[in-house]
Structure 1
Amino acid sequence: MTDQAVDTGSRTPDAARRPSGETAASAPCPPAPPSRFLGRTRELKELLADIERAGLNTIAGRKAPRARVLLIAGRPGSGRTALAEELVRQVADRYPDGVLRARLTEPGGTPVPTGRAARGLLGQLPAPAAPGADEDELTATLRAALASRRVVLLLDDAADAEQVDELVPDTPDCLVVAVSRGPLTGIPDVRPCVLGGLDTHSAVDLLTRRTGPVRVTVDPCAAQQLAEECHGEPATLLLAGGWLADRPKVAVADLVAQLRADPAAGPLDRVLGLVHDGLPAAAARMLRLLSLAPAGLVDPHTASALAGCSPQAATETLDTFHRLALLHQVPATGLLYEVPGCLHPLLTALAARLDRPAELRLARARALERTVRMLHACRLAAETGEAALARRQALPRALRFAGPEEAATWLDERREALLTAAALAVADGELDTLARRLMSQLVRALVAHVGTEDATCDLYAVHRLVLDVAERRSLPREKAAALLNLADLDARTGRTAEALTRYRAALDAGREGRDPYAVGRAMESLGGAHQELGDLDRAADWYGRALAERLARDQRADAARLYGRIASAHACAGRHEEALRHWRAAVTEHRRGGDVAACARALGELARAQEYTGRFEESLRTCREAVARARRAGDERLEAGLHLRLADTLERLGDPTAARLHRESAGRMLGDELAGVPEERG
């Protein structure tokens, strides 16, 4: 999604597509590969010198309170990103904690929220913030994480000074390289490096690399004229060179003449128009529709769905676009490309002018449908067993993954695009059915391949989108489910007060939608949230309401669990007689249900409650029964824990010999783990 640039070699992938948990700052930077960077010698020298230049604070005798900010300003397509990458490559060895990258503008021109950019940078450290944290919390966490590090921050395509200012570390040991269209007024001590066109020699050299030396050598004047017509812009020169390379019999002078025939348009518009008009009709239509690709990322499946052709035909066309410099290939991936940021608005304008709105909506719907099917196949790849194998074999060959590793890689490379696709589908408002299916499959794929803990931030974002759709479409059951999922994530990350508010809203939505499952879940979760906050009376009250709901529906297993939770709340409040009564009820329900392991656990807790109330002989008998049931269930860890509890009870009853035997039994079961198990003292 970066601009077409002067650097014609390999490119560094955008930071937002870095795999979860992988960090550019977790290890010293390896030696940089040789660069194929062209021109910009003077600008690069000035930027390197600006790093060492004394700032205003130094001149005034004060220590610099923040990181130095270097600004590279220029129009999209001027090579500003390539210059920033080359600068970072040359100074990376001075910053041992690595390079962090963030793009601050969407391909369509929408500024990226500062909180989202800060979360992406934190994920690269890694120092992930809590899901649902607001912008101020995220930026404060980022500054705290960078306070003890020496890193380079590359902030690409900044929309304004406020975006950059919120992300600047409060330490002079870091360096910020910002790329923007114009000056960032408001950030102190920033001197912009403004880019124009390439010098003539570098521009002609870039053309030579694209077209070969023959045509430039036979007509050097025409090559210089073409460089002038392109205003020395690297993106325009790359397109012009690709157009000439695709037409080996066309002279450079002929291209110059065609460009001069339409002097009103800008150079990039003129060259893109020539390239577009020279494509076959189907390929030209596909090129325009690539502007609909989420996050500017395109693969054969996305392209084939947008254009309505086969994946094989899409693969061949994308390869042609890559040769023409219409697409960049994402490094370290297979057939994954990105639409250059400077071309995205031009392609959007072409699509709006040449394609009907209904055709664009149909293309977007086809792409969403294909994405849903790919996510379904991705999730199936993580499943095991004969039934999962049969479901995978039933898929079309083009949708099958070779194995779970390939599916996980596919999901990781496209996580940003998939989240963007979900957000765009929800914002559209007319594709809510597809959006709901997409978000459902995305959640399942993330849980299957990434895990709930590692994908918490992504899951939080998806559930918020589900909530938006449910509220817009007045779907109380889906609203309750989304609120419960969000509240669970809040509770898991320590945001108990926020979770409490969402559980109450989920309870109201569940009642409105007459969803007994949501109502019962919300009540039980409200009890858990109040217990976490230390309000044990309200916790027991909400557990009791949830219990009444379960008993009314004869859900005995859930009722048994709730008896245990009520007993736990009473025990924490010191009401041991009440705890004893409810643990007995829990044991009874587990016996009826035939859950031997759960019954053993409940008996162990019942023995603890009996011990607290001074019923030591009863506690001893109950604990022995619990050990027997744990042995029947085959749960050695549970049995070992009960042996330890039984040993404590025997010691209180004055039988250290029997207590020692039970501890030895637990030791044989736990082995080395026993060293980390503290002795219980009631």
Structure 2
Amino acid sequence: MTDQAVDTGGVQLSGHAATEGHFLGRTRELKELRADIERTGLDTISGRKAPRARVLLIAGRPGSGRSALAGELVRQVADRYPDGVLRARLAEPDGTPVPVERAARELLAALDVPTPPGADEDDLAALLRETLAERRALLLLDDATGAEQVDALLPDAPQCLLVAVSAGPLTGIADVRPCTLGGLDTKSALELLTRYTGSVRITVDPRSAEQLVEACQGQPAALNLAGGWLAARPKAAVADLAKQLHAEGDEGTPLSRVFRLVHTALPAPAARILRLLSLAPAGLADPHTASALAGCSVGAARTTLDDLVALGLLRALDSPLPQYEVPGCLHALLRTAAESHERPAELQLARARMLERTVRLLQSCRAITETDSPQAREKLQVMPRALRFPTPRAAADWLQARRPALLASARLAVADGELDTLARRLMSQLVRAMVAHVGTQAAAPDLYGIHQLVLDVAERRRLPREKAAALLNLADVDARTGRTAEALARYRAALDAGREANDPYAIGRAMESVGGAHLELGDYD
């Protein structure tokens, strides 16, 4: 959260043809944003002390470079905020809003502040505001879907700064400083292309280069894809690409037109992997994810993912393990392409393969910790080499690096509704792996969310034994965190589910816990 980059197809360049992290253009916007930080607010003008952090808004369509601009602004002013930079993304790749509870919990974790498992949105937002009250920190909230999300996370600390990235205005938050983005200026756009193509192809035909920039409407994401296409074809002239884009007509956005051209030109296996990455949980992929989705080897998937990064179609994450992110601006295009090229049954099979691979990796991740168990060693030996971890430390690193994707996998599997058997296996193995590597206490906030998902599936599938177990797990956490009344209600529901399942253990546990909750509440009768 504190160090990860956020971007949805901006002017930050990546790949072999670009200078990593080099930011282009937006000089005027940066100057205005920095001036807005110092500008007197409405409260100060009226003689009142500013009650909350200043809010800067960077608004623009996905692919306009809004996240890259926010990241560059944060980089330039970060030294003014000694308590650090906190980052959170407030929308899933498909545009679904991230619950405030989850975003607040991640921000608090970045501040090393323990969060009570099962705490609700209001409690966590209040804890975040309390934590930041005496700190001077900078919050970057990317992909905000509405003012309500931002307002719930806004610190009551005038010494803090909040930078929000959104597609539109944040109506309802007072004194917001908006910066609305259009396309890049022509000079910066040409420089972006030059970093992919080299200077010769631009300088020998500047008119065609300017026509290409115009066809892309100066949108950084479209220019990145155009640059990647040219970089992969050293003998192609800029005029060739400009003509092909012109032939695409005016249907769709500049980004969608360039994407169609780039996607069509890909080799069939690479194009299929790219399309299926629209199924990657939270837009995060690694070679195992791509391998399982496409049904190819891990090595071939890794090579293809690196090739897609060079073309500007993926972003390689700064991670100890090979991890990749689907740019948010491309997610809808990839999903549309997948639905038009793959049958629904093929997409469902790809999801199932991905979940099955995740289950097996989690089994391996847990088994490597059971060094004194002959059964665990035997189970590891029969697994393919690609699914085995060399050491417990390597398994723990993988679990930590893939944690956001693993939790997203569980949520997506439950939401799918058609893969409940796989979802139950996934959640069972995820709980066991987390307990083995992190410990029950440290993993409690994540485990609480997983038990809630287990309860959803158990209720949907009418599985009383699993329902009783999930209710007991949730109630135990409620009881430990002082929510005794809520725990009592869940213990009673677990008792009913245990009786329905004729499960003596669940019945006995629930009855004992109901009595303990009544004693805790002083309800001796």
Q: If the length of structure 1 is used for normalisation, what is the TM-score?
A: 0.74
Per the alignment, residue 250 of structure 2 pairs with: 264
Deviation at 1:222, TM superposition (A): 1.6
Letter in 1 for 2:77: V
d(CA) in 1 for partners of 2:371, 2:349: 36
d(CA) in 2 for partners of 1:392, 1:493: 37
Deviation at 1:217, TM superposition (A): 2.4
Deviation at 1:185, TM superposition (A): 1.3
Deviates more, 1:345-354 or 1:208-217: 208-217
* Partner-residue secondary structure (3-state), 2:153: coil
d(CA) in 1 for partners of 2:262, 2:316: 19
d(CA) in 1 for partners of 2:197, 2:41: 45
* Partner-residue secondary structure (3-state), 1:500: helix
Per the alignment, residue 215 of structure 1 pairs with: 201
Per the alignment, residue 7 of structure 1 pairs with: 12
Q: Number of matched residues?
A: 515
Deviation at 1:291, TM superposition (A): 0.1
Equivalent of residue 90 in structure 2, options 87, 91, 104: 104
d(CA) in 2 for partners of 1:288, 1:146: 41
Q: Does 1:314 align with 2:304?
A: no
d(CA) in 1 for partners of 2:515, 2:455: 23
* Partner-residue secondary structure (3-state), 2:136: coil
d(CA) in 1 for partners of 2:521, 2:86: 38
d(CA) in 2 for partners of 1:319, 1:337: 9
Q: Is the 8 A contact 2:13 2:20 kept in 1?
A: no
* Partner-residue secondary structure (3-state), 1:342: helix
Per the alignment, residue 196 of structure 1 pairs with: 182
Per the alignment, residue 36 of structure 1 pairs with: 22
Q: Is the 8 A contact 1:9 1:37 kept in 2?
A: no
Deviation string, structure 1 residues 14-37 (Cα, Å, up to 9, x no partner): xxxxxxxxxxxxxxxxxxx99621
Per the alignment, residue 115 of structure 2 pairs with: 129
Deviation string, structure 1 residues 426-467 (Cα, Å, up to 9, x no partner): 111110000000000000011011111111111001000000
Q: Is the 8 A contact 1:463 1:486 kept in 2?
A: yes
Per the alignment, residue 3 of structure 2 pairs with: none
Q: Is the 8 A contact 2:14 2:315 kept in 1?
A: no
Per the alignment, residue 380 of structure 1 pairs with: 367
Greater C-alpha Rg: 1
Deviation string, structure 1 residues 299-319 (Cα, Å, up to 9, x no partner): 111111111111111111111
* Partner-residue secondary structure (3-state), 2:140: strand
d(CA) in 2 for partners of 1:334, 1:211: 29
Letter in 2 for 1:453: Q
d(CA) in 1 for partners of 2:285, 2:37: 37
Which aligned pairs between 1:441-456 and structure 2 lie closer than 5 A?
441-456=429-444
Q: Does 1:462 align with 2:467?
A: no
Q: Is the 8 A contact 1:368 1:434 kept in 2?
A: yes
Letter in 2 for 1:5: G
d(CA) in 2 for partners of 1:51, 1:34: 28
d(CA) in 2 for partners of 1:534, 1:122: 34
Q: Does 1:440 align with 2:428?
A: yes
Per the alignment, residue 72 of structure 2 pairs with: 86
d(CA) in 1 for partners of 2:41, 2:100: 26
Deviation at 1:146, TM superposition (A): 1.1
d(CA) in 2 for partners of 1:369, 1:408: 20
d(CA) in 2 for partners of 1:492, 1:448: 21
Per the alignment, residue 613 of structure 1 pairs with: none
* Partner-residue secondary structure (3-state), 1:192: strand
Q: Does 1:158 align with 2:163?
A: no
Deviates more, 1:377-386 or 1:419-428: 377-386
d(CA) in 2 for partners of 1:127, 1:435: 31
Q: Does 1:366 align with 2:371?
A: no
Letter in 1 for 2:258: V
Equivalent of residue 131 in structure 2, options 142, 145, 149: 145
Larger RCO of the pair (alpha carbons < 8 Å, separation 6+): 2
Deviation at 1:9, TM superposition (A): 5.7
Q: Does 1:234 align with 2:220?
A: yes
* Partner-residue secondary structure (3-state), 1:70: strand
Letter in 2 for 1:219: D
Deviation string, structure 1 residues 229-269 (Cα, Å, up to 9, x no partner): 11111111111110111111110000000000122232111
Deviation at 1:386, TM superposition (A): 5.2
Deviation string, structure 1 residues 107-150 (Cα, Å, up to 9, x no partner): 01111112221121111112233222222112111111111111
* Partner-residue secondary structure (3-state), 1:343: helix
Q: If the length of structure 2 is used for normalisation, what is the TM-score?
A: 0.96
Per the alignment, residue 342 of structure 2 pairs with: 355
* Partner-residue secondary structure (3-state), 2:165: strand
Q: Does 1:64 align with 2:69?
A: no
Q: Is the 8 A contact 1:98 1:152 kept in 2?
A: yes
Deviation at 1:399, TM superposition (A): 0.2
Deviation at 1:394, TM superposition (A): 2.1
* Partner-residue secondary structure (3-state), 1:2: coil
Per the alignment, residue 255 of structure 1 pairs with: 241
Which aligned pairs between 1:406-445 and structure 2 lie closer than 5 A?
406-445=394-433
Deviates more, 1:419-428 or 1:68-77: 419-428
* Partner-residue secondary structure (3-state), 2:107: helix
RMSD over equivalenced CA pairs, Å: 1.5
d(CA) in 2 for partners of 1:497, 1:431: 34
Percent identical pairs in the alignment equals: 70
Which aligned pairs between 1:269-288 and structure 2 lie closer than 5 A?
269-288=256-275
* Partner-residue secondary structure (3-state), 2:329: coil
